């Protein structure tokens, strides 16, 4: 079935370090792919998305490229800040607002 | 404009009881979907409503049900509560929620349900 696999956390980084959170997916067809972020006590916020192969989504310094050949959508940021500390979810879209989420990766950034 | 509003934010219920959670979508959004978030199972899709019709449903028992009103507000109901129903229930709204490439879903802050 359709599924998303994310790297386990927590990912612990110092401020200004480079961030990569791996995400791979299994799906029939070519779904849209999303990254959502959840801050403590909050709901999910859309961070970025890509709708077709080789699309690059970007927002707030975060980037992810839809790689059909490797079925991946890895999240990257060149220089993380303490305020980026949150849980990040990779998700694929199956239609009619059904999102299939990965297990989430907690990011902890220290000053 | 106002975001997705879920009420109540916190709820404590006893096993065997039933509960109703409410979601008011962003004005103009006609699609409302519901998700359950638990530490063990993560985020799981419950169902989606559009124009008062359920269009999609996840793999949850019949104890979980929902509805949508003509003003797009939605409620979900869980009957005969079990301890395992303790979770954060998230509601998301979007403009159309049609198939295809996916329109952005805006999530509420959730209702944290604790079953004791």
Interchain proximity B48–A96, CB inside 8 Å: yes
The pLDDT of residue A58 is above 90: yes
Q: What is the pLDDT of residues B16-31, one digit of tens each?
A: 999 999 999 999 999 9
When scoring B2, B43, B68, B95 by the number of chain A Cβ atoms within 10 A, the one with the most, hence best to mutate, is B43
List chain B residues with pLDDT less than 70. 1, 97-103
Between B33, B106, B109, which is nearest A42 by CB?
A: B109
Interchain proximity B45–A89, CB inside 8 Å: no
Instruction: Show residues of chain A in contact with B90, CB under 8 Å.
Output: 43-44
Cα gap B69→A93, rounded to integer Å? 25
Specify the pLDDT at position B104. 80
CA distances from B84 to B14, B34, B88, B90 (A): 12, 17, 12, 16
Cα gap B24→B109, rounded to integer Å? 12
Alpha-carbon distance A79 to nearest alpha carbon in chain B (angstroms):
26
CA distances from A34 to A88, B41, B78 (A): 10, 19, 29
Between B43, B90, B97, which is nearest A97 by CB?
A: B97
Interchain proximity B109–A41, CB inside 8 Å: yes
């Amino acid at each position: 079935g359709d599924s998303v696999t994310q790297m386990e956390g927590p990912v612990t980084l110092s401020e200004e370090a480079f961030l990569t959170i791996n995400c791979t997916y299994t799906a029939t067809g070519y779904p849209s792919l999303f990254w959502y972020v959840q801050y403590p006590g909050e709901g999910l916020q859309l961070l970025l998305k890509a709708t077709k192969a080789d699309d690059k989504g970007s927002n707030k310094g975060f980037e992810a490229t839809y790689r059909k050949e490797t079925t991946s959508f890895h999240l990257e940021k060149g220089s993380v800040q303490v305020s980026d500390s949150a849980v990040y979810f990779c998700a694929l879209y199956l239609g009619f607002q059904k999102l299939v989420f990965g297990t989430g990766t907690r990011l902890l950034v220290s000053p | 404009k106002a975001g997705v509003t879920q009420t109540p934010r916190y709820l404590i219920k006893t096993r065997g009881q039933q509960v109703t959670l409410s979601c008011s979508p962003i004005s103009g959004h006609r699609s409302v979907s519901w998700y359950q978030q638990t530490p063990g199972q993560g985020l799981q899709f419950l169902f989606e409503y559009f124009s008062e019709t359920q269009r999609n449903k996840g793999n949850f028992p019949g104890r979980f049900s929902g509805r949508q009103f003509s003003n797009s507000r939605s409620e979900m109901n869980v009957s005969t509560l079990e301890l395992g129903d303790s979770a954060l229930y998230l509601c998301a709204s979007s403009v159309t929620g049609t198939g295809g490439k996916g329109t952005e879903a805006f999530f509420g802050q959730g209702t944290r349900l604790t079953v004791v």
